Homo-oligomer: A and B are copies of this chain.
Amino acid sequence: MELQAIGVQHPAVRQVQHIQNNTAPNRYKLFVAEGLWAHNMLLEAGAPIDTFFWCPEAIYADEAHRRAEEIAARADRSFRISLRTLEKISERDKPDGLLSLAALPRWDAGDLRFGKTSLVLVADGLEIPGNLGTLIRSLDACGADCLVLTNRKTRLTHPKVIRASQGTILTVPTIEFEQTADAVAWLQRHRFTVLLADTDEAVNYRQANYSGRTALVVGSERYGIGKEWYGHGYQRVAVPMLGSGDSLNVSVSASVLLYEARARKSSW
């Protein structure tokens, strides 16, 4: 395969660094995909590939050699880079010669359609990228309709979000509201019953009612759910804490709640 060779000074290489370090605007929600596994995921999901960087010297799997041509055919532009350049932009110990800038899908709140027993999760103010990615992986697993972000503190294009989501970020619809009030209104318009994950004045999550459409709200690792979510008469549900700690990891508690809701909706 013949591709234009570029070096570390090329604007495309700099762009990768900007995306990784979040040092430039990223209006097309580009993220960095590295390695065979991530590229198989891009191809399978049909994700738009903006730029493909190919370093044949670093490829160690036969499948990666074959895949390189497919990726180049799909990418808007493709370049060949040296091992030295690859090492500059890779975040892996052993980069495998395939690296792309790809775009996250964009979802619009107005385009989503819900069924009678839809299930959505609202993540309010989540701070740790790994938690957000793990949460998206759980949303995919339990067949939730979408993730709603309010008071967003971490970007979806963060490498740790992508990695922890195990690629499910390409398929789970994610929508964001800049104002919590707009999320509240949107959920009401779609007739969701909103449940706040909160230990104060809460009912045991096994006793909650998950009929109809359910929106579960979880809050930030440090501060919990923002105050804009209170005062609407929403029920609070708690996963009982029986030990010395006072909380669960947020992606764990969200997943326990999500699966409880899914099981009850499905009568498992």
**Which of A45, A171, A239, A252 has the largest number of chain B CB atoms within 10 A?**
A252
Residues on B with C-beta less than 8 A from A259 are 239, 256
**Which A212-263 residues have C-beta < 8 A from chain B?**
239-245, 247-249, 251-252, 255-256, 259, 262-263
Asked whether A109 is an interface residue with its Cβ less than 8 Å from the other chain, the reply is no
Docked pose: A28 CA to B179 CA in angstroms: 51
User: What is the bound-complex CA distance between A222 and B84, given in angstroms?
Assistant: 30
Most chain B Cβ neighbours within 10 Å, of A143, A248, A251: A248
A112-167 at interface with B (beta carbon < 8 Å): 130, 134, 137-143, 164, 166-167
Q: Check B141 against A242 for contact (C-beta < 8 Å).
A: yes
Residue of B nearest to A44 (CB): B244
Pair A268/B130 contact, Cβ less than 8 Å: no
Interface residues of A (CB under 8 A from B): 45, 130, 134, 137-143, 164, 166-168, 171-172, 204, 206-207, 239-245, 247-249, 251-252, 255-256, 259, 262-263, 268
Cα–Cα, bound, A240→B161 (Å): 23
* A141/B243 in contact, CB under 8 A: yes
- Would you give the shortest CB distance from A33 to chain B, in whole angstroms? 16
With A239-B259, A259-B256 known as contacts, the answer to whether A164 contacts B245 (CB < 8 A) is no
In the assembled complex, the CB of A58 is this many whole angstroms from the nearest CB of chain B, namely: 22
9 contacts between A and B (CB under 8 A): A137-B252, A138-B248, A139-B243, A140-B242, A142-B243, A204-B268, A240-B268, A252-B255, A256-B256
| A207 CB contacts on chain B under 8 angstroms | 268
A90 to chain B, nearest CB (A): 20
Given contacts A206-B263, A256-B256, contact A137 B168 (CB under 8 A): no
In addition to A141-B242, A141-B243, A166-B245, 19 A-B residue pairs with Cβ atoms within 8 Å of each other are A137-B248, A137-B249, A139-B243, A140-B243, A140-B244, A140-B245, A141-B248, A142-B240, A143-B243, A167-B245, A168-B244, A168-B245, A172-B243, A206-B268, A207-B268, A239-B259, A240-B268, A248-B255, A255-B255
Please name the 3 residue pairs, one residue from A and one from B, whose CB atoms are nearest each other, closest first.
A143-B242, A140-B243, A206-B268
CA distance A255 to B241 in the complex (A): 13
Distance (Å) between the CB of A204 and the closest chain B CB?
6
Q: With both chains docked as a complex, state the minimum distance between the C-beta of A173 and any C-beta of chain B, in angstroms.
A: 12
